[in-house]
Chains A and B, each alone.
Chain A
Amino acid sequence: MSYKIPMGPYHPGLEEPYKLDMICEGETVQDAELHIGFNFRGIEHLAETRNYYQVIALMERVCGICSFIHTLTLCQAMEKLAGLEAPPRAQYIRVVMAELERLHSHVLWAGIAAKLMGFKTMFMTCFALREKVMDVLQAISGNRVNYSMNRIGGVNRDVEDPLALVGMVEDLEREMMRTVIPIFTTSSTARSRCAGIGVLTHEKAISCAVVGPTARASGINQDLRRDAPYAAYAEMKFEVPLEQAGDVRARLFVRALEIMESCRILRQALTSMPPGEVSMGGDKFAFVTGTATSRVEAPRGEVMYSVSWKEGSRNPARVHVRTPTYANMPAVRWMVRGARLADTPLIQASIDPCYSCTDR
């Protein structure tokens, strides 16, 4: 006899406002229905009532982890409409901030995944490491969550001494290589909870059009930093990690390898940052009538903004945000099919869902 088990919207294991109704046969999940929208905020509508300064601060609140990425994507779209291009130094600073945010996000995810595996000591280790990443973000921006770094035509703050930050990045990298990555990739606890669990096949990943580490763990070789470079990514050398298994372990491996690639990009950006201005200056901008679209590879995958403007207006006519969790979450239905009920929190967490983004 099959029965339905609701998980969420306020499940203690998930702590995010969404709901998964699972149809189970014994301990095995046969199918699942996903429900979102419990905290839908209507930010796109609100954006139409904000001027070009206020809308940046507003969009920074779409996500609590990728706040920099959202303003970067928005500012890139607005720069296209204003006919501006950020100076080279600002482009490098944008890369530094984006990669630090990726480190922050991936280490945070690793901690939560460890907690869901029942690996509490690893959770504490990851969160201690996350603090160090946030210390670097604070050293650059003065803030730990909403960094207020992006502006139209550049960034708000310079990195005074980039080389001083290289040491902090190397410390992070050493700690990752010494503890986090070896434990996650070799420990029997991680292996037994992750291998062969929550498989998203390559074919289904293509069909669902998933993005980011979720796609790359199912063998889809895509990364906007390489395929459609923005900021200063065209000048960076890095690899795009790829796994074929499509299970939770593959998603874990991809993120672990991405942490190392982020450190590599950070070292390059900090040591070769060109001198010069960090913004185009000026505080009044004129936008042409039309629509501009911008995409950025956030820690969870592709973020896309479509921004529409009417000439002479201070407010955008329309701002549409497509977040990575919005693309990845429907695939969870296929990941949990056939899984044990006890594995479903970890499977859901393995896409690194963000409901702040989803309920934008």
Chain B
Amino acid sequence: MTALETIREKLGTVEPWVENRGTHWLNPGSLSVRQVATVMNQVHARFITITAYQLPGSEGFRLEYHWDLDGRLLGLPFVIAGNSTESIFDLCEAADWIEREVHEEYSIDFTGREYEPLLLRKGDKSGVNLREEPAAKPAAAAPGQKEVAK
């Protein structure tokens, strides 16, 4: 059994790995990112980074988690509808800074962890760098959303 199949088996998913432009993608379906991170630890995959994309309109965000397994680049995309998702910091120490950075850039909260002071800038505002607000919805009117400076 290949290492990639081992990951699928441990995750208990029927979704296949799909290689696209050099990255092996797996649709996590209903799996949580913490379940994935636990399995990645078991197979000794190296965490690389999280890339955040804001989806059009107010559809939320896509967070692509990347791991390396013996030179193979693995990608698992998670779509989040709101402003929060689970942190993997306690499972994967290497995710600390990138979780803090995504939190600052997009105002996404990674639940289950404590935040140290902002990583990239002074002050108490997050979501200032890359997050775009829909023109029809002023930042202050969005429910449950932190103050956003444009």
Contacts and interface: CB of A to CB of B under 8 A. Distances in A.
A228 B48 CA distance: 15
Contacts of B143: none
Contacts of B23: 293
Interface of A: 33, 35-37, 40, 42, 44-45, 80-81, 206-209, 222, 224, 226-228, 290-295, 302, 304, 306, 308, 317-318, 320, 322, 326-327, 329-330, 359
Give the residue among A290, A291, A304, A318 with the most B Cβ atoms within 10 A. A291
Contacts of A320: 49, 51-52
A326 B50 CA distance: 12
Given A36-B119, A318-B53, A45 B48 contact: no
Interface residues of B, number: 34
A330 to B, nearest CB: 6
A172 B1 CA distance: 47
A209 B94 contact: yes
B66 interface: yes
B26 to A, nearest CB: 14
A295 B73 contact: yes
Interface of B: 20-23, 44, 46-49, 51-53, 64, 66, 68, 70-73, 75, 92-94, 96-98, 116-121, 129-130
Nearest to A83: B21
B94 A293 contact: no
B130 A44 contact: yes
A322 B48 contact: yes
Contacts of B116: 33
Given A81-B21, A320-B52, 19 more contacts: A35-B117, A36-B120, A45-B130, A207-B93, A207-B94, A209-B47, A209-B92, A209-B94, A228-B22, A228-B72, A290-B20, A293-B23, A302-B68, A304-B49, A306-B51, A308-B53, A318-B53, A320-B51, A330-B93
